[in-house]
Structure 1
Amino acid sequence: MELRILGPVEIYDDRTEAPWMPTGAKQRALLGALTVKAGQVVPADRLVDELWAERPPAGAANALQAHIARLRRQLPPPPVAGAPATARREHAWLATHPLGYVLHAGRTPTDAQRFDHLLTQARTQAAAEPARAQGLLRQALALWRGPALEGCGRGTICSTEAALLEESRLLALEELHDTSLRLGQHRRLTAELRELTAAHPLRERFYELLMTALHRTGRQAEALAVYEQARRRLLHELGIEPGPVLHARLEAILRRRPDPAPHPTAPPPLPPPAADSPMDDHRPHDRSQDRPAPAPHPAPPPTRSRTRREGRGDGPPPAARPGGTGTRAGRPAGPPAPAPHEAHTAPVPGGPQGAGEGEFDLRLLHGEIAQLRHRLETLAREQRDVTDRLGRLERLTARRAPAP
């Protein structure tokens, strides 16, 4: 049995090979929030906020209890190793606590934990065995059935976790294509990378990978056009110049620097992972500890240099900001220094066992960053839609205007 949140929330029973999904929207949001916080007591007031946000009903506590009772009746019996069927039926997923409710998943994993497990294995073997790492990354990405926690509403718990999971998925995609480039598979990657740059136009890493693939196939002019496309998009949407990763790739193409030779390792056979394979730890995974393996390409420093739009006079120049070394839009930036990948994060003090206030704050910060990135892309798409509609309206009005 497996709890699934990489898509619509559901419980998959491998004994019947059938997924189970809550019927009501509130039950889906409730199961999604409790699965994200599995093994932790979730206060009742947080669940009320998750289900109704700023408009709770008059009897919110009673309404929450009713939804909890309905969800309990719908949940399939969880597996308990070595216990008879009657004991399994009596075992409850949901337990009431003086402070709230807790979902006891026991040894039942989630697909998000399997995704993290495969991702960790791939990053461990990326340097020595890129072919095997490529296979593990593909297995991890194959677990996704759609947007994470789809249909669970916009509550804080589910939306934050969904944003973090989506960021992990995009990082896995970046690592998969980077590994494929290292294996010399650049010819078949250009179409996929063009789709990714169109779907995520503010994510510079996809542009850099596409430029690399085009450069290695001898299409330097197209690679330079991709850089210009990324530059125009970033200036238009965010008012910033491309970061050090793209700038370094541009310099390498202009100076015709040779790329590293593809890794000669042949792909070893990979047995398919068992759905119920035991993992070291089934507690909720802290995504703030995720760090991708070092990429072979130059990468930006932890604090990105950003420039303002031309003509905007508010605020101090970038060089005067704390940690700012940027240049004005339109002026060439200085040569970038190699630095860790922009997705790398600072380690949490105390490690995974030192879960304290600092770790909690860092996790919230990562959630807010992921949400802001998603919001920026959403706003950019909405702005383009509004611009297109205004253009169509102006053309329609011009056609209908009476002649003088």
Structure 2
Amino acid sequence: MLIFSVLGALEINVPGKKIEISGELQRTLLQTLLVGEGESVSSEALMRRMWGESMWDVQPNTLYAHISRLRRRLRALEPERTEPRLTVHPSGYRLALGEGELDAAEFVKKIHGVEAGERNSPRDSVRLLREALAMWRGPAFGDAAKTPACRRAAARYEAYRLRALELLFAAELENGNHAMVLAELHETHLAHPLHERYCELLMIAFYRSGRQADALETYRRMWRHLADELGVQPSPRLQRAEQAILAHDPSLDRPGAPPASSAPPAPWARCPVLS
């Protein structure tokens, strides 16, 4: 069994060791096939995914040669496999992927599982989400997300990572771990200053830690960012959080208040804002 890892630089894991695919075009080809997560793709579509509009400057034989080399390389890694990992047929090419063989697909599956897991306790959610986030070794595809398809996929996986962090922090607050998670949440908010849900959760964590002034300054800083960068006001939800802090609303002291949104962001969203 091979494990293909793209949540970081491309790696192939076989029992006991990690394998690197040599050659930039070989790595690009494998990454582009992995983006399809097991779907069949035609020669033209594969070339478009790899080179975009520049595909017309590429000789078709270039793709065929690299397909052959990659097939041989993968076959050598799985001598006991009866069916080729990379199959060629009239409609194009398909990289077969079984359950658990692509880390990005498993990561997304775990996030969907937490979102759908109505019976998960906040403690279970924290454990599952931290396990999922630990799968990341760096930016998706590392520095090699050069093809149009890989760039789009990297953005989609990153949006799910941001969603996972949002769910994690909300679950930690539900567990009453505001002090423990405060520094991590603050760092994440500073890295994503336009993400309103991170701001809201940080405000609550500050407030529960007895730092009302910091909670309100966090809101004011967010207000300035939104006005300067996007020309908009904070969402009604974030404004309500500020008013609750100013009024010392007792509900803020209860784990889980205000409730986390259950609606996932669009995976392609530039800056997911939940309301």
TM-score bin, normalised by smaller chain: 0.7 to 0.9
Deviation digits for residues 76-111 of structure 1, max 9, x if unmatched? 5465xxxxx5x42x6421111223211122456211
Deviation digits for residues 269-306 of structure 1, max 9, x if unmatched? xxxxxxxxxxxxxxxxxxxxxxxxxx75267xxxxxxx
1:6 — aligned with what?
7
1:203-352 alignment, distance < 5 Å: 203-258=195-250, 259-262=252-255, 296-297=257-258, 340=261, 343-344=263-264
- State TM-score, norm by structure 1: 0.61
Counterpart CA distance in 1 for 2:68 and 2:257 is: 53
1:43 — aligned with what?
42
Asked if 1:134 corresponds to 2:146, the answer is no
Asked if 1:52 corresponds to 2:51, the answer is yes
2:258 is aligned with what amino acid? H
1:97-116 alignment, distance < 5 Å: 97-107=89-99, 109-116=101-108
Checking the alignment, whether the CA contact within 8 Å between 1:4 and 1:110 is kept in structure 2 is: yes
Question: Which has the greater radius of gyration?
Answer: 1
Counterpart CA distance in 1 for 2:100 and 2:164 is: 24
2:176 — aligned with what?
184
Q: Which moved more, 1:193-202 or 1:44-53?
A: 44-53
Give 1:223 shift: 0.5
Counterpart CA distance in 2 for 1:158 and 1:23 is: 18
Unaligned ranges ≥5, structure 1: 80-84, 263-294, 300-339, 346-365, 375-404
Counterpart CA distance in 1 for 2:87 and 2:138 is: 29
2:23 — aligned with what?
24
Note closer, same or farther for the CA distance 1:206–1:59 as it changes in structure 2 (3 Å cut). closer
2:224 is aligned with what amino acid? R
Q: What SS does the aligned partner of 1:165 have?
A: helix
Note closer, same or farther for the CA distance 1:187–1:71 as it changes in structure 2 (3 Å cut). same
Count of residues in Structure 1 that have an aligned counterpart in Structure 2: 270
Asked if 1:70 corresponds to 2:31, the answer is no
Calculate the aligned-residue CA RMSD, in Å: 2.4
Q: Which has the higher helix share?
A: 2
Identity %: 38
Counterpart CA distance in 2 for 1:48 and 1:30 is: 9
Q: What SS does the aligned partner of 1:344 have?
A: coil
Q: Which moved more, 1:192-201 or 1:117-126?
A: 117-126
Give 1:145 shift: 0.9
Q: What SS does the aligned partner of 1:188 have?
A: helix
1:9 is aligned with what amino acid? L
2:70 is aligned with what amino acid? L
Higher relative CO (Cα under 8 Å, sequence separation at least 6) belongs to 2
Counterpart CA distance in 2 for 1:173 and 1:108 is: 22
Counterpart CA distance in 2 for 1:98 and 1:77 is: 24
Counterpart CA distance in 2 for 1:124 and 1:53 is: 36
Note closer, same or farther for the CA distance 1:116–1:56 as it changes in structure 2 (3 Å cut). closer
Deviation digits for residues 314-367 of structure 1, max 9, x if unmatched? xxxxxxxxxxxxxxxxxxxxxxxxxx55x536xxxxxxxxxxxxxxxxxxxx45
Checking the alignment, whether the CA contact within 8 Å between 1:41 and 1:97 is kept in structure 2 is: no
1:369-380 alignment, distance < 5 Å: 369-370=268-269, 372-373=270-271
Give 1:35 shift: 1.4
- State TM-score, norm by structure 2: 0.88
Checking the alignment, whether the CA contact within 8 Å between 2:111 and 2:132 is kept in structure 1 is: yes
Give 1:73 shift: 2.8
Give 1:189 shift: 2.0
Q: Segments of 4+ in structure 1 off by > 4 A?
A: 76-79, 124-128
Note closer, same or farther for the CA distance 1:94–1:235 as it changes in structure 2 (3 Å cut). same
Checking the alignment, whether the CA contact within 8 Å between 1:204 and 1:246 is kept in structure 2 is: yes
Counterpart CA distance in 2 for 1:247 and 1:59 is: 54
Deviation digits for residues 188-243 of structure 1, max 9, x if unmatched? 22221221122111111111111000011111111000000001011111111111
Give 1:57 shift: 6.3
Counterpart CA distance in 1 for 2:185 and 2:72 is: 46
Give 1:27 shift: 1.7
Counterpart CA distance in 2 for 1:73 and 1:63 is: 16
Unaligned ranges ≥5, structure 2: none
Checking the alignment, whether the CA contact within 8 Å between 1:234 and 1:241 is kept in structure 2 is: yes
Q: What SS does the aligned partner of 1:53 have?
A: helix
1:165-176 alignment, distance < 5 Å: 165-176=157-168
Checking the alignment, whether the CA contact within 8 Å between 1:234 and 1:240 is kept in structure 2 is: yes
Counterpart CA distance in 2 for 1:71 and 1:296 is: 52
